[in-house]
Structure 1
Amino acid sequence: MTEGKLPALVLDAGGGLSSSYWKDLAPRLARATGSKVITYDRAGEGESDEISGPWRVENAVSDLEAGLKELGVTDDVVLVSHSIAGEVATGFVNENPGWVSGAVLVDANVPDFFTDDMLTAFAPAVEKQKNALLAQPSTKKNRQLLSVMVDYAPTHRAFHELTWPQDVPVTAIVASQTPFTDSPDAAQLWRDAQARFAQAGPNRKHVVAENTSHEGIVTERPDVIAGAVEEMLKAVR
């Protein structure tokens, strides 16, 4: 954590990634904004202990809530969430009204994407990825990714039912390549879902980060993310 003023920036990386994902962007944000900047490793990531069983977003939300309470940060938070951390952000903002002043979602999972049709069509790809991970040497990262695939469809059908509160500003930054480089159809569904999400509220913004990949977006276009965060802070301060 870097000390600073509120709103506090809470940076949350995607699946299989750790707080080191933000190692260059976090100090840049601290210098540019003067905000308190918090990074952390979710259970099973980085330096955190592994927990057996399937990954559950409710547990990740509870862990984040407990961690912020321990730091004394229980309001005026701006979430900066990448990939699956978008699910944590959505759960957190619903479970803790009044804590979150705004959010910047970085090519993040949004409820709009996980329709029944998408989950049915995507099932073979999930199984293929699962088998590929099982064929590799077992690592902490692989085990964490596999835990996300347990009950993937029912878990994400439940996520699809969630909505982002209308009173919490949010910017959705989308990588130009999307997570689905091998499936043009899935890539388009992702882009469409991100656009629908951004259009569903009066205080939402949609930004496409050109020349970026899903995992590499933070190092490929840190300027886009930093700019969105600074703009969000100006709006909520």
Structure 2
Amino acid sequence: MKAFTISILVFTVFNCFSTQAQTLDTLIDVGGYKLHFVILKGKGIPILFEAGGGEDATTWNKITGPVAERTAATLITYDRAGFGKSTFDTTKHGILNGMIGLETGLKKLGYNSNIILVAHSQGGLYAQLYAARHPDKVKAAVLIDVTTTCFYNKKRLAATQQVINHQNTYKLRASNPGSYYQGADFSSNIERMRKFAFPITVPVTDFVSDRTPFKDSIDINDWKRCHREFAAVSSNRSGILATGCGHFIFNDNPPLVINAIVKAYTMASGK
């Protein structure tokens, strides 16, 4: 009995060690600043997670474990510049600089080949840009209530930027430059992304929240309409209304999003 107990203990310790060894938590120099990556190593096509505005890699903690268990895939989460553990270079802000930093980091880590994208909110703009720049490498995408350029017409964009500018104080720039420049660059990021369509060759599952981030009925209807129009562009896009869910669909209904990611991975892998 004693020997059996010791064997169980050794087995448990070994398993814990193996699990820890599979996770890479690292800072990568991408040219003037460092991006924080957390990579759960697996096999097959890696899955890259793009957090929403103001969020970092930890936003995905509720679903990465189940996704890893069901796919055994490599999962890549990271903190965009100025958030989480990533540092910031005030001379390299804006979505294009952010994308160049991400691409540099992925290349250094050896993940600059085929990939699957999962994105939430403003992270959808980064997923869109990455897919537009690497249409042959992106094998599938799961978009979760992402920001669309369709929604931000000129009038709404100007009004949104005005609110952001009011909140963007000098004090914020000094204490949290990542957040400050995320807001300051919002309009320019949207305008830049009008030039980059999501490739129609990439299979997409597009979720839209039932309870959108807005209170005004016109905003609510336009948010949902833009997602419907995006999904209708191609037969390989599937639009899903997440009934009863708010903006963070993957927190309100984890199985719904997890199943979509697993399905995207399975289909992209040809299994």
Q: Normalising TM by the smaller chain, what interval?
A: 0.7 to 0.9
Partners in 2 of 1:21 and 1:88 — Cα distance?
A: 16
Runs of 4 or more consecutive aligned structure 1 residues displaced over 4 Å after TM superposition = 139-143
CA contact (8 A) 1:54 1:147 kept: no
Partners in 2 of 1:148 and 1:159 — Cα distance?
A: 15
Aligned to 2:51: 13
Aligned to 1:120: 155
Aligned to 2:7: none
TM-superposition CA deviations, 1:102-159 (whole Å, max 9, x none): 1111111233333xxx231342243224424549x74899643431332543431231
Identity in percent:
26
Partners in 1 of 2:204 and 2:88 — Cα distance?
A: 31
Question: In structure 1, what residue type is equivalent to 2:199?
Answer: P
Q: What residue ranges of structure 1 are gaps of 5+ in the alignment?
A: none
CA contact (8 A) 2:40 2:74 kept: yes
* CA deviation after TM superposition for structure 1 residue 54, in Å: 7.8
Question: In structure 2, what residue type is equivalent to 1:176?
Answer: D
CA pair 141-39 structure 1, distance change in 2 beyond 3 A: farther
Instruction: Please say if 1:202 is aligned against 2:235.
Output: yes
TM-score normalised according to structure 1 size: 0.88
Q: What residue ranges of structure 2 are gaps of 5+ in the alignment?
A: 1-38
Q: Which has the higher contact order (CA 8 A, sep 6+)?
A: 1
Where does 1:117-156 land on structure 2 (aligned, <5 Å)?
118-132=153-167, 134=169, 138=172, 143-156=177-190
Structure 2 residue matching 1:234: 3-state secondary structure: helix
TM-score normalised according to structure 2 size: 0.78
Partners in 1 of 2:92 and 2:181 — Cα distance?
A: 5
**Quick one: which of 119, 122, 130 aligns to 1:81?**
119
Aligned to 2:268: 236
Instruction: Please say if 1:163 is aligned against 2:197.
Output: yes
What is the root-mean-square deviation in Å for CA atoms of aligned residues? Answer: 2.2
Partners in 1 of 2:205 and 2:119 — Cα distance?
A: 11
Partners in 2 of 1:210 and 1:139 — Cα distance?
A: 38
Partners in 2 of 1:125 and 1:93 — Cα distance?
A: 26
Structure 1 residue matching 2:250: 3-state secondary structure: helix
**Greater C-alpha radius of gyration:** 2
